[in-house]
Amino acid sequence: MRPIIGITTYVMPASWGVWRDLPTALVPQDYAAAVTLAGGRAVLLPPDDLDTDVLRVLDGLLFSGGPDISPELYGEQPGPHTVTHPERDAAELALLQAALDRDLPVLGVCRGMQLLVAAHGGTLHQHLPEVLGHERHRVAPAVYSEHEAVFTPGSRIAGLMGEDVTINCFHHQGVADPGKLTVTGRAEDGLPEAVEDPDRRFLLGVQWHPEVSRDLRLFGALVAAAARS
């Protein structure tokens, strides 16, 4: 049996076919396709904060991208550019905490990485252009910007990425303080792009979007770690 990887989803009013603005649980198909290609079985997790019982059938968890997390989670008030979805925060934090308790393999992508940071006592920059003075991490709507990352030698992410350190970014918030996690990758401007907890079996967050290229290096590592759980 293939390892089962749970992928968190958004709830958005969506339109397709004859349907207009129906509240829908959705996530870019790229995530499920990347998990499938890497040999895992993807299931999508609609937000639900009643309990985290679903973890009993999951071998790994993927926290997907999406809107900003609530700044209250790291002790700040929302800034003017911050767009949140508190229901999703609550459901994902409960899942993450229970997953950490079980040392379940976890990959966080973009928003998912930021959630990992907040759950480990870290903080975020709420709008990067105000901090960095440039918009190179989100150049235009629906456009990924390429960066050359620098990874810490000996880290998990350095081992996974190897020679090709090109990453594709689309985000307007970023990690300010990683809390108890270790920053193991940065963009040219110094912004954290990867965080991990070296003491855990597999806990990795990346600020970029490896699902778009179905990056087997990262999804393969998640599935392999999940196969051992």
Q: Which of residues 94-133 bind other proteins (CB under 8 A)?
A: none
E-only strand ranges, 96-214: 106-109, 123-125, 145-148, 150-151, 166-169, 174-177, 182-186, 192-196, 203-206
From the list 15-23, 70-78, 89-97, 167-175, the region that binds other proteins by CB under 8 A is: 15-23
Which residue from 6, 71, 105, 108 is in contact with other proteins, where contact means CB under 8 A? 6
**Amino acid found at 85:** H
Does 23 sit near other proteins (CB under 8 A)?
Answer: yes
Shortest Cβ 29–other proteins spacing (Å): 5
From the list 7-15, 110-118, 121-129, 191-199, the region that binds other proteins by CB under 8 A is: 7-15
d(CA 71, CA 115): 11
Biggest distance spanned by C-alpha atoms of the chain: 52
Which residue from 31, 63, 74, 151 is in contact with other proteins, where contact means CB under 8 A? 31
Closest Cα partner for 82 from 116, 114, 109, 113?
A: 114
Q: Would you call 169 a catalytic residue per the annotation? A: no
DSSP SS3 for 47: coil
Does 162 sit near other proteins (CB under 8 A)?
Answer: no
Catalytic residues: 110, 209, 211
